[in-house]
Amino acid sequence: MALKKGQVVELDIINAAFKGKGLAKVDGLAVFVPNTTPGDKVKARIIKKKKKHREAKLLEILEPSPHRIEPKCRHASVCGGCSWQHIPYEKQLEYKTQQVRDHISRIGHLNDSIVKPGVGAEKEFYYRNKMEYSISSRRWLTEEEIQSDEYVDDSAFAAGLHAPGRFDKILNLKECHLQVPESFEILDFVRNYCIEHGITPYDTFEDSGFMRHVMIRNSHHTDDFMVNLVTYKDDQGIMNKMSEALLKEFQFITTVVNNVNDTKSPTAVGRFQHVLYGPGFIVDKIGDFTFKIHPNAFFQTNTAQAETLYEIARNYAELKDGDIVYDLYCGVGTLSLFMSKPAKHVLGIELVDVAVKNAKFNAKENGVENVSFIKGDMKDVFTQDVVNEYGAPNVLITDPPRAGMHPDVVERLCELKVPRIVYVSCNSSTMARDLKELNSVYEIEEVQPVDMFPQTYHIEAVAKLKLRD
C-alpha cells in the first residue's frame, strides 16, 4: 500500500512515539497519528508523505484502547498545552520511560537496563507555577466551524493558547487545568473586562490593538501571586483601572506588573515595565534556597518536581567535603546553589548574560559564598585556563538545552576525565547521542527519568557517569 497524501485508512495504534503521537505500521511503514493511544483502532487521513514515514490526522476512533480515558479539559484534542489527557497518568509515565529506554538503546547503543522506572509527579494537574496566555483578535475555529458550509467569522477577543503550529490564531480557552484554578479565572476576568471596557486585542497582521498577553506566576512555598499584563501600548490610565479591578476581585494577588511590548516581536517580555501594585516580584524556594522571581526571570516551571530532580542529581553527584564542582549551562544558578553543600567551590558557566547576572544575584541573596559564575559559550569558555584558575573539577554537572552538548564540549569532557559526571537532560535523544560518545571514557551507571510535565509527552532524565578505571 503506497499510502498517498489524502488517503483515508484504518490503523491499529501499537505504540506511543514521536512527539507523543500514536504509532501504526502499514506494510512496515510507520504512520504517526496525534491524539491516539496504544490499543486504539482508528480511521485517519494521510496529511504528510515523508520518505520513511507518513503523518496522519485522526478522523474517528473506531475501537477505543482499554487505556483511553475521557480528557479532563474540553480543549485537550486541539490545544497544544497538554496533548496526553486521554491517557491515564500511570500509562503516560510508562510510555515516557519507554521513550527514554528506546533512545538509550537505539541512539546511545547502551543497555537500556540502566534506565530506572520514571519518577512521577505528585500532581497530575495544576502543577505549573507559570502560565503565559496570549491574546489576539483572531480565534482558532472549532472542527465543526471549519467543516461548516457557511462563513464563520474568526474575529474575536481571543484569550488562551496558540493553536499548534499557528502564530496568529489563539484557542479561546473556556478552561485550563495546568496552573491553579485561579489562573484561568484571572484570564477570564481580564478577557471579560477588556470586552466590557472596549479594550482591543492585539492584531498580529495589522500590528495594532492593546492587550497582548496575561502572564501569571504563583509560588509553591509561599502565598505570593503575580499577574503580569503585557500590552502593545503604554497607557497607565487604562492599566491602573484594570489593576484595581483585578485586586478587588482577587484579593490574594500580591503584585501586578505591566510589561509594554511595543514591537512586532511576539514575546511576552516587554521593552520596559511598570509595577502597578506590590513589589514587582514573587518569592519561592527550591530546597533551602530562596529566589526572587521577577516577571521575565527564568524559574523551573514545576517547583515540586524541580526539587525531586535536583535531589536525584545531588545524590548522583556523591558530593564530598572539598569537592570542586563545575555546573555547565547553569542558567540562573538554581542547581549550582543546590550543589553548594558540602562542596569547596561550585563554578557555573552560562552563555546568556542576564542569566549570569541573575545567578550572581541569587547567590548573594542566599548568602552563598562558595559559588562563582562566568559568562560565555561553553565550547569556548570551558578551557584549560578556566581549570587553572578554578581548579580541576571532581564533579561536573551538565544541563544543556534540547540540542544537547556541542561536540567540542563532549570532546573536552573526554579529555578532562572528571571522576563523576551528572547529565541532566530535557531531551533524552540528544542525551543518548552524547552518552554514546562519553561511554568510551565514562561508565554510564544509571539513568533516571523524571516527569516534570504530566499530560504532555515531555520527560526529563538524569544520568550518572563514573570515570572508567
Binding site per annotation, positions for S-adenosyl-L-methionine: 300, 329, 350, 399
Active-site residue set: 426
Domain tally, the chain = 3
Task: Name the DSSP class of 150.
Answer: S
* Share above pLDDT 70 across residues of the chain, in percent, rounded to a whole number: 96
DSSP, collapsed to helix, strand or coil, labels residue 108 as coil
Local confidence band at 256 (pLDDT 50, 70, 90 cut-offs) = very high
Question: Which segments within 287-378 are labelled E, that is strand?
Answer: 289-293, 324-328, 345-350, 371-375
Expressed as residue numbers, the domain containing 436 is 94-123+301-467
Q: Quickly count: other Cβ atoms within 10 Å of residue 365's Cβ.
A: 14
Is residue 286 domain-shared with residue 333, that is, in the same domain?
A: no
Is residue 149 domain-shared with residue 263, that is, in the same domain?
A: yes
Q: Quote the CA–CA distance of 325 and 286 in Å, as a whole number.
A: 19
Residue predicted with more confidence, 354 or 464: 464
181: in domain:
yes
196 contacts: CB under 8 Å, gap ≥ 6: none
Per-residue pLDDT at 243:
98
CATH of the domain at 32: 2.40.50.140
Q: What is the mean pLDDT of residues 94-113?
A: 96
Asked which of 141-145, 340-344, 349-353 is least confident by mean pLDDT, the reply is 141-145
DSSP, collapsed to helix, strand or coil, labels residue 445 as strand
Q: What is the mean pLDDT of residues 182-194?
A: 97
CATH of the domain at 238: 2.40.50.1070
Is residue 48 domain-shared with residue 102, that is, in the same domain?
A: no
Q: What is the mean pLDDT of residues 300-322?
A: 96
pLDDT in tens, 189-212: 999 999 999 999 999 888 899 999
Mean pLDDT of the chain: 93
Q: Of 240, 263, 293, which residue is a domain's last? A: 293
Q: Quote the CA–CA distance of 347 and 364 in Å, as a whole number.
A: 15
Query: Residue 154 corresponds to which amino acid?
Result: D
Q: Quickly count: other Cβ atoms within 10 Å of residue 41's Cβ.
A: 16
Q: Is the pTM of the predicted complex or chain greater than 0.85?
A: yes
Residue 77 reports pLDDT greater than 90 = no
79: in domain:
no
Local confidence band at 53 (pLDDT 50, 70, 90 cut-offs) = very high
Is residue 28 domain-shared with residue 101, that is, in the same domain?
A: no
pLDDT in tens, 219-234: 999 999 999 999 999 9
Q: Quote the CA–CA distance of 379 and 366 in Å, as a whole number.
A: 30
393: in domain:
yes
pLDDT in tens, 125-176: 999 999 999 999 877 766 666 666 666 566 778 999 987 766 667 889 999 9
Is residue 105 domain-shared with residue 63, that is, in the same domain?
A: no
Residue predicted with more confidence, 144 or 294: 294
**φ, ψ for residue 454 (rounded to 5)?**
-55, 150
Most confident of 68-77, 78-87, 187-196: 187-196
Per-residue pLDDT at 148:
60
Among the listed residues 337, 324, 345, the one whose alpha carbon sits nearest the alpha carbon of residue 416: 324
Q: What is the mean pLDDT of residues 88-106?
A: 96
Per-residue pLDDT at 146:
60
Per-residue pLDDT at 444:
98
Q: Of 269, 293, 317, which residue is a domain's last? A: 293
Is residue 330 domain-shared with residue 214, that is, in the same domain?
A: no
Per-residue pLDDT at 438:
98
